[in-house]
Amino acid sequence: MILSISGVVLLGVVVFLFFRKDNLKASHGLVCALFGFYLASTGIAPSIRAGGASLASLLGGIKF
């Protein structure tokens, strides 16, 4: 649950930065959000979630 909330926050920040800095139109942000909602209800969503969890554990395992 925490990973999905932080992922949503991170993606929201990225979309906001694109909107502010790179002239992303509000309609483009809306399309991105709708695409995410529709993608979450497809059969590929568990694979995407597993890939995100794998990437998060990979990044979490990096020692500086």
Reported as a single tens digit per residue, the pLDDT across 10-31 is 777 887 887 788 787 888 878 7
N-to-C CA span, the chain: 26
Residue 1 has pLDDT above 50, yes or no: no
Site of tokens 């694979």: 47
What is the average pLDDT value for the chain, to the nearest integer?
A: 79
Torsion sign, CA atoms 63, 6, 53, 36:
negative
pTM for the predicted model, two decimal places: 0.55
